[in-house]
Amino acid sequence: MEVRAKKALGQHFLVDQGVAKAIVDALGADSPVRDVLEIGPGMGVLTQYLLPREDIDLRLVEIDPESVGYLLTHFAGMQGKLVEGDYLRLNMARFFPGPYRIIGNFPYNISSQIFFKILEDKDRVPEVVCMIQKEVADRIAEGPGSKVYGILSVLLQAWYDIEFLFSVKPGAFAPPPKVNSAVIRLRRNGREALGCDEKLFKTVVKTAFNQRRKTLRNALKPLLPDGFDASAPVFDLRAERLGVDDFVSLTNLLSA
């Protein structure tokens, strides 16, 4: 029995065993957090290398009923570990009362949504190892000043150290995607708080990058209070020039 890749779910099954093992090996064995969630296991190409690891307790979430049936049939002990459902809609506190790490080959069409959900639970997720579209990986790992640096770059780098591990060619998948892929690792940094209104911080970042070709003075007009003095030099810059700490300072300036 093989699982048919479904375009609507963005499925491209990894078939290169060397890449699969390298992804699993990148999940840090030195972490004291045993609980691990695999998102979108598909036919278990990562699962087969995760299950034997004695340093982790594995749970899996899979939205595709056909994949769920395959995993239950082909992997012993899967009952009770596998949740059929949409990760984006699940309350992870139901499955993990404490911290947990995340691994997976994320569906490329919803990878950004997955990262936003991870951010919502950032204080319980110390590490993420995932394969995503290379273009998105470049964006997340890039620093200020780059044309690909954007919203996800800032929001994730505020809370995680990002490592670009390696690229993966389309031939490693069935069916091959039309884009290159990459594996990245996120490790929670030591930041406990941003030192600003975090809801406003997120709004400032999104608003600034939604009109990234404009200076901040123009891009942030919807957020500027009446009579606000936007003569500070930072407002002459575009969003891509600002790092996380710069956005924190800007948020405090707007809320003063």
- Does residue 173 contact residue 12 with C-beta atoms inside 8 Å? yes
Query: Which residue's entry shows tokens 């992804």?
Result: 23
Rg for the chain (alpha carbons), in Å?
A: 20
Q: Is the pLDDT of residue 9 over 60?
A: no
Query: Which residue's entry shows tokens 């699982």?
Result: 3
pLDDT tens per residue across span 159-174: 999 999 999 999 999 8
Q: What is the mean pLDDT of the chain?
A: 93
pLDDT tens per residue across span 171-194: 999 878 889 999 999 999 999 999
The reported pLDDT for the residue numbered 175 is 79
The token pair that represents 118 in the structure block: 């991870």
Q: Which domains does the chain have, with CATH numbers?
A: 7-188 (3.40.50.150), 198-255 (1.10.8.100)
30: confidence class by pLDDT, cuts 50, 70, 90: confident
N-term to C-term CA, the chain: 62
- Does residue 104 contact residue 39 with C-beta atoms inside 8 Å? yes
